[in-house]
Amino acid sequence: MIPVRLTIEGLYSYQRKQTIDFTRLTAANIFGIFGQVGSGKSSILEAISYAIYGDTERLNSKEGRGYNMMNLKSDSLLIEFEFVSGINHKSYLVIVSARRNSKRFEDVKTIERKAFVDDAGDWKPVELSSLEEAIGLSYANFKRTIIIPQGRFQEFLQLDKKERTNMMKELFNLEKYDLFRKAASLDKRNNDKRQFLEGQLSSLGDVSAEQIEQLKELLSQYQDLAKELSAELEQKRKELEAWKRLKELNIKKEKLLADRKELAEKTAAISRLEDQLKKYEYCLVHFKGLMEQEQQAQKSINLLNEALRIEKQSLKKTLDELADKQQQQVTLKADYDQRDRLNAEADDLDRIAKAKVLIAEIESLISRTAKGEAVIKANEAKVKELKDVQEKQTSNLKNLKQQLPDVALLSRVREWYTYNKSLSAQHAEAKQEHELALKEKQSADGELVLLLDGKDFAVGLPVASPAQAQEKIREEVVRLTDIVRQKDKELQHLLVQQKLGQYADELKSGEPCPLCGSTHHPQILNIANVAEAISTTRRQKENAQASIDQCNVLDRKLVELGTKLKGVNEKCGRATERVAKLEADIKQHQDKFEWEAYKTEESLSKAFAAADKLGKDIKQLEDAIEKAASNLQEEEKNTEKYRKAVEAFKLEMASKEGQKQSLIAGLRHLQLSQHEGKAPKELEDMAIAMRNHVGSVVAKFDKLSTEIADLRQQEGKSSGSIAANEANLLKEQQSLDSITQSISQKLEANGHLSLEEVKQTLALGLDVDGVRKQIAYHNQAVQTVVAQIIENEREFAGRTYNAEEHLALDAVVVELANREGANRKDIGRVENEIATKNAALEQQAAIRKELDVVVMRASELATLKNMLQGNKFIDFISTTYLQNLCSAANDRFYKMTRQRLSLELTEDNSFQVRDYMNGGKTRSVKTLSGGQTFQASLSLALALSDNIQRMQSADQNFFFLDEGFGTLDKDSLGIVFDTLKSLRKENRIVGVISHVDEMQQEIETYLKVVNHDDRGSIVTASWE
């Protein structure tokens, strides 16, 4: 996982948005994040971890994460993290956000996380679980191997056996070596298959070829009967179809006669409807239009009368309101004319109030300026005194440094003595290990002899070669397995002979044989001693099987012993090589000694003691100088701060004096002396009251003017509208009189209709087209029914329908169809039975063949399962991984401790330390100092990260350290830093979080985090 970009806002101390571009940092391979304690350095790591996993160790899910993680001065939280991970180097983006409730400060909404993957330049949403899959680590192991937060750096070193084993299983996928479950699963499936096959044989029952022949003969009889039934049924169905046609014609005839009767009854009503339609059409043409015009004219007259009444009332109301508004305007006019002078006096009151405020501020500034000048004078005297002290201390420090010996030379001599002791201790230990390895080899050889010379088993096994002995045992197992199979066949044959003998003993002359059915038995089978042969064969089979089991047990023991012998031989070889190498190293190391002044360790110790004392004196004096410099800088800052403040006071006084004079010069109607006893607030209130009065008068006067103009306009509109409506009313009345006269003339011309009769006729509202269609439809229906009755008589052709004969024939057809269906089912049943029995015969043969294979496999799987019992294989693999990890860690740890310490693995897979400064003896890792514990933890973490990088096939990997540097002395810190710098050659990216100044001086590319009281944590880069 390589970080690309991180944006933080509103998280812990990060009040404002801060964006970190990791591309510049990772390009340097090693970079730092520095700042004081509490500046917000570790929050960067927590932001990355929370973005990927949605988890944090500071707070659990019940402790109000949203509220406690959000900055108290922020209303929202934002984390945006972009990174590259996986073999394909895919880019991922995670966005974390939350908002505070605007009404309830402590209520922070649920934190939301969204994940995206780069798809050809577009961010495509993905599931959050895909982030962990891309990185390939759980949250717990991510904190142990990639980003290690404060307090967790030593975790892997101090985990107990169970937790460390579980971690190794997860990191290196060791579950794939748990082969016992697979072997047990194979054995179970094989046993299930055996039971299934045996059950299938049992379920098939007895099947013979004679049974199949009998079924075929029965099938032929059913097929002949099917042909006869099919021919007879076809003939009867044709006769039944003719009767059905006659029945349909008879039903149609009865319906046509009923329709003709119904139409005849409707003929008189249709005639009356025709007369009514003619009268309606006449009235529609001659009277409907005139009557509608008469109604419309009367309606218009009524509307005009109502409108005139309403408009006359509105005109009276408008005139009354106009007189009232004009009277109100006359009352306000006097105050309205004085509005400009009153506003000018209000402005003068504001200027006087501001001038009084400025006078008070100027007096305050004069007092503060005098106090500031006194403080400046006192601080300048203190600065001079501090400078004198600093010069004296600097001179003393220079003298002490000139007395320091060559510490680098002393360190090289001490390293020679330390390494010499380490080599001697290792040589003694190597010789002891060599002797122990020889004893283990003798013990293993003795075990092999005892195993192969045992009395329980003897097949002439070679004692010197376990592999040859195993080969011979396996050949014996194959031979014994063939014997077991042969005895199985013999036993089955003997059991058949025994059964035939029982049948032969029961045969009697004249009675049928239970096998062949014959009553004549000329040659009866004679079987003797079958029971004894069965017993002997069974015993031989059991003996062979017991020998197989004994061979399998011996084979497993040989496998275990062979593995042990191989390990012991390799151990002896390594011990011999180590003794020889150490002896050569000791000689080579002693030849390098070149310091005559330090032939003894005592002289070296005295030199170091003198150097240590001078170093402490120098350190004490440097601290004093640093403190004095800090005090001097602080006093100089204070002096400058007061000087700038005094100058600012003077500038502010001049500015305020100018403002005061400008305000006094701007007075138009009032004078400052007129309001000596009044406060600025009182004057401001007077100005506000005066402006409010003027504003109120102007607003009321303007409003009345507008309302009077509107009322006069409304008066004109109402008068014009009344005149227009009176003219329209006269025209409408004349139109109504003309229409009434036209209607009377048409009624007189007709001579048969009255006005009331015309109104009733038109009120019918007949649908003319619909009535005409109704009459035409009736006439057409009468013609159609008559024609259909004639056609029906022609189709009968003199025949008569008989319902009883029709029903009898229908019953005959149903009976024949039922018989045909039953016969067809019999044919299908017999055909299925024939097919089933044929398949059963073939299936029996196949099952017996498969069952033989399954029985043999059961024996082999039982052996395999016994060999994989328990978790020994996984424990062995886990131990191997840990040994490799420990060896890789020692490559760095041994150098970091200047060849004094190394890590080792105990029998229970815990870590211990071998101390070469104390005779090469081992001790617990818990006895290490803080600095040594950090060195061991760092070495293990780097080794673990190396393994993970190889597993993920990554060309680069990211590793972050966030603790431990404060516990190291200067020399140890230098060694650690040299180790970190060497990682650049390994194409590794290392990030360091520290508050130690020495680290910042050594790392060129870094981020600086400063926590400001007003702005929160601010991040700046070294290249900015």
- Give the DSSP per-residue string, 386-423: HHHHHHHHHHHHHHHHHT---HHHHHHHHHHHHHHHHH
Residue 120 region by backbone torsions, left for phi larger than 0, else alpha for psi between -120 and 50, else beta: left
| N-term to C-term CA, the chain | 26
CA distances from residue 4 to 1, 19, 428, 958 in whole angstroms, order as listed: 10, 11, 52, 11
**Among candidate residues 53, 58, 234, 215, the one with its CA nearest the CA of residue 141:** 53
What is the rounded distance in angstroms from the CA atom of residue 73 to the CA atom of residue 70?
8
Give this prediction's pTM.
Answer: 0.38
Q: What number of other Cβ atoms are within 10 A of residue 646's Cβ?
A: 17
Q: Residue type for 89, please?
A: H
DSSP state for residue 95 in the 8-state scheme: E
Beta strand 957-961 with 988-994 is parallel
What is the rounded distance in angstroms from the CA atom of residue 725 to the CA atom of residue 723?
6
In three-state secondary structure terms, 794 is helix
In the prediction, which pLDDT does 975 show?
66
Sign of CA dihedral 229, 230, 234, 237: positive
Question: Considering the chain, what percentage of its residues have pLDDT values greater than 70?
Answer: 89
Beta strand 1006-1012 with 1016-1021 is antiparallel
Going from N- to C-terminal start, the domains of the chain cover 2-136+953-1021, 179-247+802-867, 277-337+709-763, 354-509+525-693
**Among candidate residues 106, 140, 133, the one with its CA nearest the CA of residue 117:** 133
Backbone angles phi, psi at 116, to 5 degrees: -140, 155
What is the rounded distance in angstroms from the CA atom of residue 327 to the CA atom of residue 718?
23
In the prediction, which pLDDT does 79 show?
94
**Among candidate residues 780, 781, 790, 775, the one with its CA nearest the CA of residue 260:** 781
- Give the DSSP per-residue string, 438-450: HHHHHHHHHHHHH
What is the rounded distance in angstroms from the CA atom of residue 594 to the CA atom of residue 604?
14
Beta strand 1016-1021 with 76-85 is unpaired
Backbone angles phi, psi at 119, to 5 degrees: -125, 90
Q: Residue type for 411, please?
A: S
Residues 6+ apart with CB under 8 A from 253: 789, 792, 796
Q: What number of other Cβ atoms are within 10 A of residue 57's Cβ?
A: 14
What is the rounded distance in angstroms from the CA atom of residue 38 to the CA atom of residue 1010?
9
Long-range contacts of the stretch 406-411 (C-beta < 8 A, 24+): 407/611, 409/595, 410/604, 410/607, 410/608, 410/611, 411/971
Residues 6+ apart with CB under 8 A from 38: 13, 1011
Sheet of strand 988-994: strand arrangement: 147-148, 957-961, 988-994, 30-34, 1006-1012, 1016-1021
Long-range contacts of the stretch 725-733 (C-beta < 8 A, 24+): 725/304, 725/307, 725/308, 725/311, 726/308, 728/304, 729/301, 729/304, 729/305, 729/308, 732/297, 732/300, 732/301, 732/304, 733/301
Q: What number of other Cβ atoms are within 10 A of residue 973's Cβ?
A: 21
What is the rounded distance in angstroms from the CA atom of residue 89 to the CA atom of residue 961?
24
CA distances from residue 596 to 585, 593, 600 in whole angstroms, order as listed: 22, 8, 9
**Among candidate residues 528, 541, 525, 526, the one with its CA nearest the CA of residue 492:** 541
Q: Residue type for 54, please?
A: G
Given a cut of 70, the residues of the chain with pLDDT beneath it are 61-63, 87, 148-155, 208, 407, 453-465, 496, 499-500, 502-529, 863-868, 870-872, 949, 951-957, 963-972, 975-976, 979, 982-987
What is the rounded distance in angstroms from the CA atom of residue 537 to the CA atom of residue 493?
11
Q: What number of other Cβ atoms are within 10 A of residue 576's Cβ?
A: 14
Q: What number of other Cβ atoms are within 10 A of residue 438's Cβ?
A: 15
Q: Residue type for 447, please?
A: E
**C-alpha 995 chain-centroid distance:** 36
Element spanning 255, H or E: helix 209-265
What is the rounded distance in angstroms from the CA atom of residue 504 to the CA atom of residue 514?
10
Domain 179-247+802-867 has CATH 2.60.40: no
Q: Are 928 and 913 in contact (CB under 8 A)?
A: yes
Q: Residue type for 149, please?
A: P
What is the rounded distance in angstroms from the CA atom of residue 161 to the CA atom of residue 932?
22
Q: Are 534 and 491 in contact (CB under 8 A)?
A: yes
Backbone angles phi, psi at 514, to 5 degrees: -70, -15
CATH of domain 2-136+953-1021: 3.40.50.300
Domains 2-136+953-1021 and 179-247+802-867 share a fold: no
In the prediction, which pLDDT does 515 show?
47
Token pair of 363, please? 């007096």
DSSP state for residue 432 in the 8-state scheme: H
Q: Which residue stretches of 868-1006 are H helix? A: 872-896, 930-951, 970-982, 997-1002
Q: What's the per-residue H, E or C state across 701-737?
A: HHHHHHHHHHHHHHHHHHHHHHHHHHHHHHHHHHHHH
In the prediction, which pLDDT does 754 show?
78
Token pair of 991, please? 């990030």
Which residues on adjacent β-strands are paired with residue 147? 960
**Among candidate residues 1006, 1014, 966, the one with its CA nearest the CA of residue 41:** 1006
In the prediction, which pLDDT does 952 show?
61
In three-state secondary structure terms, 234 is helix
Q: Are 8 and 78 in contact (CB under 8 A)?
A: yes
Which residues on adjacent β-strands are paired with residue 77? 98
In three-state secondary structure terms, 227 is helix
